[in-house]
Amino acid sequence: MADEEAKKAKQAEIERKRAEVRKRMEEASKAKKAKKGFMTPERKKKLRLLLRKKAAEELKKEQERKAAERRRIIEERCGSPRNLSDASEAELQTVCKEYWQRLYKLEGDKFDLEHIQKIKAQEINDLNAQVNDLRGKFVKPALKKVSKYENKFAKLQKKAAEFNFRNQLKVVKKKEFTLEEEEKEKKIKDSVLTKAKK
């Protein structure tokens, strides 16, 4: 009987543990269901709408910031506008000289920057070529796209042109292109023959 009681106690312990595991599993599944149900379609729609509004506001702020930066840079580079309506001729000449000097300086700076940019681009290309050589990779040049029918069409046009050229040639008699010497020899032979006959 003690064995039976021990077996029953063991069986009860196993059942109790199984019940605990089942209870934990049910709680975990309920938690998962609760999490899944948190984002309903309506909430997702509202969230998307809020995100769009926020992005639109950020974009508007960014555009305003860029516009303000642009205005500041223009004022810095070009200076503030001047009232030239009541300026005298001498004042106008000085303003024109100032603008010309500023333009001259800016053109020089632009030329220098373009030259530096070309040199840097060439250096980058050289370094890329060196890196590719070290890796053993060779850059294949981009091939030109050519229509496969273009060559056939060109050949047909060429044949047509040759055909027309041959049709337009005149038929020439051989006698028209005989040499003068041959004609003289014939005349001499004819005259010799006529003398011999006499």
Distance separating alpha carbons of residues 103 and 115, to the nearest angstrom: 18
Confidence of residue 163 (pLDDT cuts 50, 70, 90): low
More reliable by pLDDT, 159 or 52: 52
Confidence of residue 86 (pLDDT cuts 50, 70, 90): confident
Question: Average of pLDDT values for 116-134?
Answer: 91
* pTM over cut 0.75: no
Nearest to 149 by CA among 141, 157, 161: 157
Lowest mean pLDDT among 10-19, 128-137, 149-158: 149-158
Distance separating alpha carbons of residues 175 and 183, to the nearest angstrom: 10
Question: Average of pLDDT values for 140-154?
Answer: 72
Most confident range, picked from 28-32, 93-97, 112-116: 112-116
Question: Average of pLDDT values for 165-189?
Answer: 64
Vertex 85 angle, CA 83 and 86, to 5°: 100
The SS3 of residue 70 is helix
pLDDT of residue 35: 58
Q: Could you tell me the sign of the dihedral formed by the alpha carbons of 72, 78, 79, 82, in that order? A: negative
